[in-house]
């Protein structure tokens, strides 16, 4: 798969988790296989690695179709001066992984991140397995491999099975198949992705508003008046200012177009603070993609 965005020196991509994590799979699928991935223990370290140019890009999850927004990463976007350069929707397919040669009837316990266990609760119960919470999905796959436990399985990605040489006993363990995670690509580059009239773009911004009646209505109206589609709205508290909020908005369009730039200028008249986080190509292909 070729990279969706082309930039110079785009070789190191930081992600949170261990090798085999869903975030690493998203990095390969978004940028292509000709990259070097940099595992980070925390989301903070992903942002730091890109800021300090230890990595040229970072990949972070920002929302899941079942679990909602990852608020920590919204807050980190304010702490670090990075730009959003792309997005990728990853179909989350939880696989039951075990040591090579192990049969399903031998499995007694299943290890994984608590969220993954919760998303597969009905199928875990149906198989009569005991859930064991771990720090992350890829780490649970590594645990099964390192401990050589024939009675233990992990809930993780097919990518993790390849990394840790495990076999896939069962795919699609999730109870709800409409399970997607939206990932953002981050860069220290302050320039937006090059605009092309023939492609669909999305722009992300963050702003504050005065605490006055109708402020939010007026802010959103600058988009409604111009028929600009809002694809995401998220509010986060402002640290040190109780009951005041930052508003994160994603909308369809590129900041380079007249209609979008006029909307931003209009919003800037009433917003005490406004920052453009990036204009980037929209990812519309939500079909399931398997990373071997």
195: which DSSP letter?
Answer: P
The pTM of the full predicted model, rounded to 2 decimals, is 0.88
- CATH 3.30.70.260 occupies which residues in the chain? 201-281
The alpha carbon dihedral of 116, 117, 122, 123 has a sign of positive
Q: Which of 31, 43, 183, 201 is catalytic?
A: 183
As a whole number, mean pLDDT of residues 193-210 equals 83
Tens digit of pLDDT for each residue in 88-99?
A: 999 999 999 999
Confidence of residue 189 (pLDDT cuts 50, 70, 90): confident
Q: Which CATH architecture has domain 95-170?
A: 3-Layer(aba) Sandwich (3.40)
Determine the pLDDT at residue 7.
Answer: 42
Position 192 scores a pLDDT of: 52
CA distance 40 to 194: 29
Q: Does domain 12-92+179-187 have CATH number 1.10.10.10?
A: no
The whole-number average pLDDT for the span 272-285 is: 91
With a cut of 50, say whether residue 12 has pLDDT above it: yes
Quote the crossing angle between the two packed helices 22-31 and 137-147, to the nearest 10°.
110
Paired tokens of 273: 């603070």
Nearest to 181 by CA among 60, 1, 3: 60
273 in catalytic set: no
Nearest to 69 by CA among 203, 229, 235, 237: 235
Query: Average model confidence (pLDDT) for the chain?
Result: 90
Would you say 156 and 137 are in contact if contact means Cβ atoms under 8 Å apart? yes
183 is catalytic: yes
Q: Within the chain, which residue ranges are assigned CATH 3.40.190.10?
A: 12-92+179-187, 95-170
Residue 169 confidence (pLDDT) above 70: yes
Residue 67 banded pLDDT, cuts 50, 70, 90 = confident
- Averaged pLDDT, 255-280: 95
How confident is residue 31, by pLDDT bands cut at 50, 70 and 90? very high
What is the helix, strand, coil percentage profile of the chain, to 5?
A: 30, 30, 40
- Contact indicator for 99, 150 with CB cutoff of 8 Å: yes
Virtual torsion, Cα 139, 67, 185, 27, nearest 10 deg? 40
Chain mean position to CA 176: 19
Choice among 37, 85, 137, 181 that is catalytic = 181
Please answer whether residues 187 and 250 qualify as being in contact, where contact means their C-beta atoms are separated by less than 8 angstroms: no
Asked if the 201-281 domain carries CATH number 3.90.180.10, the reply is no
Confidence at 198, pLDDT banded by 50, 70, 90: low
**Look-up: residue for tokens 């940099």?**
38
């Amino acid at each position: 798969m070729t990279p969706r965005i082309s930039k110079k020196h785009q070789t190191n991509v930081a992600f949170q988790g261990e090798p085999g994590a869903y975030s690493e799979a998203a990095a390969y699928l978004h940028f292509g296989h000709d990259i070097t991935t940099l595992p980070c223990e925390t989301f903070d370290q992903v942002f730091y690695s890109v800021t300090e140019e230890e990595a040229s890009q970072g990949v972070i999850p920002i929302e899941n179709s079942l679990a909602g927004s990852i608020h920590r990463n919204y807050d980190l976007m304010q702490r670090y001066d990075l730009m959003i350069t792309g997005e990728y929707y990853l179909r989350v397919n939880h696989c039951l992984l075990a040591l090579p040669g192990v049969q399903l009837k031998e499995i007694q316990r299943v290890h994984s991140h608590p969220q993954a266990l919760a998303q597969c609760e009905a199928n875990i119960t149906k198989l009569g397995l005991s859930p064991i919470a771990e720090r992350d999905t890829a780490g649970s796959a590594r645990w099964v491999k390192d401990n050589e436990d024939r009675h233990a399985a992990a809930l993780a990605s097919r990518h993790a099975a390849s990394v840790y040489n495990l076999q896939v006993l069962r795919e699609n363990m999730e109870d709800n198949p409409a399970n997607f995670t939206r990932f953002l690509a981050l860069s220290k580059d302050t320039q937006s992705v090059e605009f092309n009239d023939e492609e669909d773009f999305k722009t992300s911004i963050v702003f504050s508003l005065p605490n006055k009646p109708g402020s939010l209505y007026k802010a959103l109206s600058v988009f409604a008046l111009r028929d600009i589609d809002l694809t995401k709205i998220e509010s986060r508290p402002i640290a040190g200012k109780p009951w005041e909020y930052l508003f994160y908005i994603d909308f369809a369009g590129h900041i380079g177009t007249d209609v979008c730039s006029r909307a931003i200028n209009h919003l800037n008249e009433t917003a005490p603070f406004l920052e453009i986080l990036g204009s980037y190509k929209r990812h519309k292909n939500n079909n399931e993609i398997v990373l071997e």
